[in-house]
Amino acid sequence: MERVSVFGKYSVTLYLMDNDRFIQVILPLKLEWEPYYRLPEGMGVSVGERVGVVFAHRHYIAVVSGLDCHPTSSPDKILDIEGVETGLPPIGEREIAFWRQVAYYYLCSVGEVYKAAYPSIAIRQEETEVRIRQQLEKRKERLLEKIEKAKFERTRQRYQAELEALENQRREERPPQVKSLSEAQQRALESIKEAFAKGKTVLLHGVTGSGKTEIYLNLAAQVLAEGKSVLFLVPEIALSRQLEERVSEALPEVMVYHSAESAARRREVADRIREADACCVLGTRSALFLPHRNLGLIIVDEEHDRSYKQDSPAPRYNAREAAIMLAICQNARVLLGSATPSLESLYNADTGRFAKVELKERFYKGEEAELMIIDTAAERRKNGMAGSFSLKLLAEIHKTLEQGKQVALLRARRSYAPAVQCSECGKTIKCPHCNVSLSLHRNPERLVCHYCGHTQEYSGVCPDCGGELVPLGGGTQKIAEELQAIYPQARIARLDSDTPPKEEAAIIKSFAKAETDILIGTQMVTKGFDFSGLSLVAVLQADSILAQQDFRADERAIQLFEQFRGRSGRRGSGGLFVIQTREPKHHVFSRLKGEDDTAAILEERRTFGYPPYSRMIQLIFRDGSEKRIDYLSKELAEQLESSLEGVSVVGPYSPAVDRIADQHIRHIRIILPRDKRLSERKEMLVKTISKFEKERKYPGHIAIDVDPV
């Protein structure tokens, strides 16, 4: 063995070995380095293969990231790998390149990205295939049994038909077919293709109902016909379910994928991607981390949507940005679409980084929904309110139902009531673990914390003074109850995150088929659904949406309202959009009346140096001790201020909810100029933080969130 010292920027000792061969691996951990292992004699591996290793006395499945390495630590301490995981398909080099790009941009470790991409490595391919086959076999067996036992000819026939359908599943597929485009749509498609030819990412800014989806499908069909794969991203699982049918009718080989799918399903989709020449995956943000190859096009529908951002755990990525990184690794094109594009994308279009294509007319001609703003404070004074509803809105609901049309209502709070208060002493009941009010839920009646899930019984009596507790305001549950009392005949459904995921699809489907008259829900009901019979949409207590304290609050409110408005009158029948608010003069509403103030909002962002004119990074401290979090977050803020010149450090400050699950929370916001020194500064930031954590042996947790939303 020979020891060589290399001097340069750093001085390191390389151990050059005669016989031993070393590899580097990526571990599914928050590790800043890729550790070395020794290959046992006679064993060969290649980059991307998965190997079993021991790290800090625990077993992991790691990904080989480097061959023939020269370790920088003494080889005596380097362990042998335990073996090659031949049952697991290797990771492609492009896939690893994508992970590295995401880790680099979002300031996390590549291991954390690996962990996100392969969340449940434990399931082996063989097991899955067997399980899927078994499931089918079991269903068949059960049907056969039922047929035998059936007492009536009619039931027997029904089971027989089900069995045949199961067996014919593959045979009866119709050849997929896209719709032919209107002239305006065709022009937009041509412009998109021209921009793609120049290698640009395209922002398709098209009003709701303009047929953006049909354009995506046409483009996707062409890409598939050229033998390349397509990734079609949507922000919500519920949306992917509604789109599945539409996409499958238009394209061959469509697979739906999202994070709520089982590990077995993930394997199935991943295997299909590995073997298919060209296929289309319709999925939510986690679908970015499938083992894509041969990708030609990535579509990001509703690109402004906040659900594209992963808040926790790392990587805290935004699928819109990550899609562009993936496209670079795959040499694919990216199409971003929205009726209300994010300011980031509009900025990128302004600066020429993206090409912008506009689609200003709806496919079914006709005006967008008319706007009616109802001042609830004024109505209350005039006795014009009945519970959560103004009489004016009730009259419109009545009219709509009489015409056999449908109604959708948005209330941004789930539960029966977002808070309960003592009528004697004024106390509101808070979560014992979080600094938030408990929400009242019914069926069964209980108090629930929407942050940590804490649940307690509801006695209706104030624990302090014994006074009577009264619900404050109304959530979706209460609104449904009020409405059912007014319209006992109406078929009313509720859609919010209390809805079991399994029922979501059925609720949306039945509303789409007009089997329900009124749909009440949280933000979920505003997303890109296509409901043909929906003609009245209304926002209740819009004030809770306007009240958020954040520089993005207005932008978000406008997007939400515009999206919701776009759900109604989609067959050219106009439709009505009602907003109930105590603040009818809020400037967000003037935008809905047709004033385009994007330029003004952008100008304001520029003046204050906010994104998109700068990069924002948020540090999130979490600590059980309030005293410690306060002085340590202050200390780090000071260190950052002195080590990073040219950036502004805001905080530490307490966010709106400053304690969750017994952990105190503090934020520091760092605003970096978008210039050549950006990545250098980001690197410096990470170094300062990890040095701080080591020096102070910080037992709390500091998360780094790049581009928080």
Residues that bind ligand ADP (CB under 6 A): 179, 181-182, 185, 206, 208-214, 363-364, 530, 570
Cα angle: 268, vertex 272, 274; to 5 degrees: 120
Interacting partner of 451 out of ligand ADP, Zn ion, none (Cβ under 5 to 8 A depending on kind): Zn ion
Question: At 476, which amino acid appears?
Answer: T
Crossing angle of helices 319-330/93-105, nearest 10°? 140
181 binds, among Zn ion, ligand ADP, none (CB under 5 to 8 A by kind): ligand ADP
> CB-wise, 211 or 341, nearer to ligand ADP?
211
| Beta bridge partner(s), residue 201 | 354
By beta-carbon proximity to ligand ADP, the closer residue of 340 and 663 is 340
Partner touching 431 among ligand ADP, Zn ion, none, CB below 5 to 8 Å by kind = Zn ion
Instruction: Tell me whether residue 245 or residue 424 sits nearer to ligand ADP (CB atom).
Output: 245
Closest CA to 269 of 125, 150, 382, 411: 125
Told to check if 314 binds Zn ion by CB under 5 A, we report no
Which one of 306-314, 373-381, 427-435, 650-658 is the stretch in contact with Zn ion (CB under 5 A)? 427-435
Around Cβ 74, how many Cβ atoms within 10 Å? 10
> Do 203 and 348 touch, CB atoms closer than 8 A?
yes
Residue 449's binding partner, choosing from ligand ADP, Zn ion, none, with beta-carbon cut-off 5 to 8 A by kind? Zn ion
Write down the least CB distance from residue 602 to ligand ADP, Å.
24
Q: Judged by CB, which is closer to Zn ion: 91, or 449?
A: 449
Cβ-based nearer residue to ligand ADP, 91 or 519? 519
Q: How far is the CB of 240 from ligand ADP (least distance, A)?
A: 14
Q: Toward ligand ADP, which CB reaches closer, 100 or 179?
A: 179
Residues 444-463 that bind Zn ion (CB under 5 A): 449, 451-452, 454
Q: Give the length of the chain.
A: 709
Q: Choose between 530 and 543: whose C-beta lies nearer to ligand ADP.
A: 530
Instruction: Specify the residue, 96 or 297, whose C-beta has the smaller distance to ligand ADP.
Output: 297
Of these partners, ligand ADP, Zn ion, none, which one is at the site of residue 433 (CB under 5 to 8 Å by kind)?
Zn ion
Q: What does 114 interact with, of Zn ion, ligand ADP, none (CB < 5 to 8 A by kind)? A: none
Site string for Zn ion, 588-627 (x = CB under 5 A): ----------------------------------------
The C-alpha torsion from 95 through 98 and 99 to 101, rounded to 10°, is 160
Which does residue 90 bind out of Zn ion, ligand ADP, none, counting CB within 5 to 8 angstroms by kind?
Answer: none
Q: Which of 434, 542, 560, 578 binds Zn ion (CB under 5 A)?
A: 434
Residue 435 CB, shortest distance to Zn ion, in Å, is 9
Q: Is 419 in the site for Zn ion (CB under 5 A)?
A: no
For residue 347, the minimal CB distance to ligand ADP (Å) is: 22
What is the closest distance, in whole angstroms, from the C-beta atom of residue 568 to ligand ADP in the complex? 12
Question: Among Zn ion, ligand ADP, none, what does residue 541 contact (CB within 5–8 Å per kind)?
Answer: none
| Contact yes or no for 78/37 (Cβ under 8 A) | yes
How far apart CA 227 and CA 222 sit, in angstroms, is 9
Question: In the bound complex, what is the minimum distance in angstroms from residue 259's beta carbon to ligand ADP?
Answer: 24
For residue 332, the minimal CB distance to ligand ADP (Å) is: 21
- Measured from the CB atom, is 95 or 368 closer to ligand ADP? 368
- The DSSP string of 51-87 is EEEEETTEEEEEEEEESS---SS-GGGPPBP-EE-TT
230 lines the binding site for Zn ion (CB under 5 A): no
* 3-state secondary structure labels for all residues of 266-314: HHHHHHHHHHCCCCEEEECHHHHHCCCCCEEEEEEECCCCHHHECCCCC
C-beta of 363 vs 458, nearer to ligand ADP? 363
What does 530 interact with, of ligand ADP, Zn ion, none (CB < 5 to 8 A by kind)?
Answer: ligand ADP
Going by C-alpha positions, the residue among 587, 578, 579, 527 that lies closest to residue 555 is: 587
Please give the structure tokens belonging to residue 383. 């006795």
Who contacts 637 (Cβ-Cβ below 8 Å, separation ≥6)?
649, 651, 652, 668
Size of the site for Zn ion (CB under 5 A): 7
DSSP tag of 526: G
Collect all residues with Cβ–Cβ distance below 8 Å to 359 and sequence separation of at least 6: 184, 185, 188, 204, 205, 206, 207, 210, 211, 212, 215
454 vs 586, which CB is nearer to Zn ion?
454
DSSP output for 457-525: ---SB-TTT-PBEEEES--HHHHHHHHHHH-TTS-EEEESTTS-HHHHHHHHHHHHTT--SEEEESGGG
- When binding is defined by CB under 5 A, the residue of 306, 433, 446, 586 that contacts Zn ion is 433
* Residue 214 binds: one of Zn ion, ligand ADP, none (C-beta under 5 to 8 A by kind): ligand ADP
Residue 210 CB, shortest distance to ligand ADP, in Å, is: 4
The binder of 434, among Zn ion, ligand ADP, none, by C-beta within 5 to 8 A per type, is Zn ion
CB atoms within 10 A of CB 103: 20
Closest CA to 388 of 324, 313, 484: 484
**Sign (positive or negative) of CA dihedral 262, 263, 266, 272:** negative
Query: In terms of CB distance, is 309 or 565 closer to ligand ADP?
Result: 565
Q: Is residue 40 reached through a cis peptide bond, with omega within 30 degrees of 0 on the bond before it?
A: no
User: Encoding tokens for residue 373?
Assistant: 């703003």
H-helix or E-strand spanning residue 375: strand 370-375
209 binds, among Zn ion, ligand ADP, none (CB under 5 to 8 A by kind): ligand ADP
Residue 185 CB, nearest approach to ligand ADP (Å): 6
Q: Which H or E run includes 333?
A: strand 333-338
Cα 566 to Cα 72, 144, 373, 529, 644: the distances in Å are 59, 47, 16, 9, 45
Residue 452 binds: one of Zn ion, ligand ADP, none (C-beta under 5 to 8 A by kind): Zn ion
Residues 6 or more apart whose CB falls under 8 angstroms from that of 305 comprise: 235, 236, 527
Q: What is the DSSP letter of 89?
A: P
User: Of these partners, Zn ion, ligand ADP, none, which one is at the site of residue 569 (CB under 5 to 8 Å by kind)?
Assistant: none
Tell whether residue 110 is a contact of Zn ion (CB under 5 A).
no
113: contact with Zn ion by CB under 5 A: no
Q: Which does 475 bind (CB under 5 to 8 A by kind): Zn ion, ligand ADP, none?
A: none
Question: Least distance (Å) from ligand ADP to the CB of residue 214?
Answer: 4
With respect to Zn ion, which residue has the nearer C-beta, 433 or 677?
433
Applying CB under 5 A, which residues contact Zn ion? 431, 433-434, 449, 451-452, 454
